[in-house]
Amino acid sequence: MELIRQQKLVVQLCTDHALLEEFLAAPAQVTTREGLTVGAESLAKLNPGQLRQFARLLRMRRLGEAGTALPLTRRALGHRFAELFTAYALQNPPPGKRLGQDAIAFVNYLLQSNPTKPLNPVWLMSLASYEAARVEVEWLGQRKLLVRKFPHALRRLLTAFEADGVPKGDFSGWTLAVWCSSSSGRQPRHWLW
Amino acid sequence: MGQKTEISNLLANLPRLGAGLTYHEPFLADLLQKQPEVDFLEVHGDRYLDAPPARMDELAMLAEHFTVIPHFTGLSLGSAEGLDAVYLENVAHLIKQLKSPWWSEHIGYTRANGILLGQPAPLPFTKEGIEVMTRNIVTARRAIAAPLILENVFGPLVWPGSEMDPARFIGEVLGFGGVGLLLDVADLFTYAPGLGIDPIKLLDRLPLDRVVQVHFSSSHDSQADSSESRVQPVAEGVWQLLNAVVTRAPVRCLCLELNDNPPPLGDALKEVERARTVGRQYKRWN
């Protein structure tokens, strides 16, 4: 079944930017390495513009879903949310089947890629980590109990987000956030201190 | 009774729903207030597989107030590696819970080698593509009793080495699979020119007697460009195609397809009302 190999390669091309560029520069090299035989010549004729367009469409879809999962982070970052997510998505294929996994992976990427260059506002990573934790509990339902500590006053920050725009100030302080799912499986209970 | 007659009877007995739209969580409160303006809701079925109880409660509540049609992308009926048995089981369970009149997927694939795209990729218009689709459709239909309808995927990728034109490919997939058509007129409007075919000419070659549902939206390219802003209104070219379909096909419903970051519900409902009027004009429903 040559189509299995062809589909695998198309998916890789559209989710791995470096591989796509390598393929566009030397298609035969990539198809040979990926073990394509009968369909290699055909696949090598894929239109570069269409491949790039589809890869972009996939990133836009992922960006939209991440924005839904991290609404306040998106609001706080403005247009930079799309820039940062695109940089992440160019290097990382979708991490799983479930809605929210990509958003969590994106926040982890931000935490790992910006340790010496904190994002502004100063509380941004606390907010992003808080929203990722909420997705982990409320969307993925993977944990019965989750406790996280954040180096900013999140309760005040979340209240400030109820007004339009992005809150001003450094929101210094500490927050302990707890989510607890009951055995009845209803909406998890949540506390901020 | 021949297979074609059986399918025609099955599709002819499906309810005439009217005009509706894709559900998004921010719509919830307003939707309940504006229930008379929405004939049905389409939900992204994949979001409710293995979902936390709160989201399932919300879905159950929606199903109490509206006819809910689940639309899937993750089953990936076009995957040559076959279906994910656990995913199929979850899809079947959800459809049974919802008691929907039908469910939908795509003539395309979203999964290969463990990566889930979230957006369907088209298949090559080849005999092997038809065989893969047919095999997977048969497996899915064995697991799910509700009628299946499949959505066209014409772009943006076009596979080289096609063995037939896209209309024949779709006709054979639907024919061998024994399923209906979910015709996405925005996909047709956006990508038919890339296949070298005028959208109306391609429309006329499709098996229109199989059309159950129509998706309409702003063109797919404009959605891709506007993910950080509100989606654009439905283009007049898409409305013209929608009109052409409604005049030619026994459509059961028209669905405004909204991806993430949807417009305010009020704006969306104006487009839903326009679609409902088109259906009434051609006596597809009252």
A143-171 confidence digits (pLDDT tens): 788 999 999 999 999 999 998 788 898 89
Confidence of residue A41 (pLDDT cuts 50, 70, 90): confident
| Interface with chain A: mutation pick from B76, B119, B133, B229, highest number of A CBs within 10 Å | B119
The per-residue pLDDT for range B116-138, each reduced to its tens digit, is 888 999 999 999 999 999 999 99
- Do A165 and A111 share a structural domain? yes
Mean pLDDT value across residues B178-203 = 94
Q: Across all residues in chain B, what is the average pLDDT?
A: 91
Residue B157: closest CA among A46, A3, A12, A28 = A46
Provide the terminal-to-terminal Cα distance of chain A, rounded to the nearest Å: 57
The per-residue pLDDT for range B14-72, each reduced to its tens digit, is 999 999 999 998 899 999 999 999 999 999 999 898 787 888 899 999 999 999 999 99
Domain count, chain A: 2
pLDDT at B99: 93
Q: The complex's ipTM?
A: 0.90
For residue B143, give Cα distances in angstroms to A58, A126, B45, B85: 29, 45, 16, 10
Taking CA atoms, what residue in B is nearest to A49? B157
pLDDT at B225: 45
pLDDT at B160 over 60: yes
Confidence of residue B236 (pLDDT cuts 50, 70, 90): very high
pLDDT at B52: 78
Confidence of residue A184 (pLDDT cuts 50, 70, 90): low
pLDDT at B7 over 80: no
Between CA B150 and CA B171 the distance in angstroms is: 11
> Is B259 in contact with A61 (Cβ distance < 8 A)?
yes
Helices (H), chain A: 2-15, 17-25, 27-33, 40-43, 48-69, 71-77, 79-91, 101-113, 124-134, 154-160
Q: Assess A11–B contact: CB distance below 8 Å, yes or no.
A: yes
- Do A71 and A35 share a structural domain? no
pLDDT at B228: 42
- Do A131 and A72 share a structural domain? yes
Mean pLDDT value across residues A172-186 = 81
Share of chain A above pLDDT 90, in %: 59
pLDDT at B4 over 70: no
| Interface with chain A: mutation pick from B25, B27, B135, B157, highest number of A CBs within 10 Å | B157
pLDDT at B152 over 90: yes
pLDDT at B55: 85
Amino acid at A135: V
> Where are chain B's structural domains?
3-281
pLDDT at A183: 60
Mean pLDDT value across residues B93-122 = 94
- Do A75 and A149 share a structural domain? yes
Share of chain A above pLDDT 70, in %: 95
DSSP class of residue A115 equals S
Smallest Cα distance from B59 to chain A, Å:
14
Contact B48, B72 (CB under 8 A): no
For residue A31, give Cα distances in angstroms to A57, A59, A91, B15, B110: 23, 24, 21, 48, 20
**Set of chain A residues whose Cβ sits within 8 Å of the Cβ of B55:** 139
Third-level CATH fold of B3-281: TIM Barrel (3.20.20)
pLDDT at B281: 96
Range(s) of the domain holding residue A6: 1-46
Of A39, A61, A79, the CB nearest to B119: A61
Mean pLDDT value across residues B183-208 = 95
Share of chain B above pLDDT 90, in %: 78
DSSP class of residue B194 equals G
Residue B124: closest CA among B76, B189, B72, B80 = B80
Of A2, A97, A139, the CB nearest to B74: A97
pLDDT at B5 over 70: no
- Do A124 and A146 share a structural domain? yes
Mean pLDDT value across residues B95-116 = 94
Between CA B282 and CA B273 the distance in angstroms is: 15
Interface of A with B in 16-55 (CB under 8 A): 39, 42-43, 45-47, 50-51, 53-54
Mean pLDDT value across residues B170-177 = 93
The per-residue pLDDT for range A82-120, each reduced to its tens digit, is 999 999 999 898 887 777 899 999 999 999 886 566 788
The per-residue pLDDT for range B200-232, each reduced to its tens digit, is 999 999 999 999 999 999 855 544 444 444 467
- Do A71 and A37 share a structural domain? no
Cβ contacts of B7 within 8 Å, gap of 6 or more: B178, B179, B180, B210
- Do A33 and A66 share a structural domain? no
Highest mean pLDDT: which of A32-46, A106-120, B198-212, B250-264?
B198-212
Contact A75, A121 (CB under 8 A): no
pLDDT at A24: 93
- Do A37 and A15 share a structural domain? yes
Residue A53: closest CA among B65, B278, B211, B220 = B220
In this structure, of A58-72, B131-145, B238-252, the range with the lowest mean pLDDT score is A58-72
Of A47, A96, A187, the CB nearest to B54: A187
pLDDT at B231: 60
Contact B131, B76 (CB under 8 A): no
- Do A1 and A92 share a structural domain? no
Confidence of residue B238 (pLDDT cuts 50, 70, 90): very high
- Do A119 and A74 share a structural domain? yes
> Residue B234: CA atoms inside 13 Å, Cβ hemisphere, count?
27
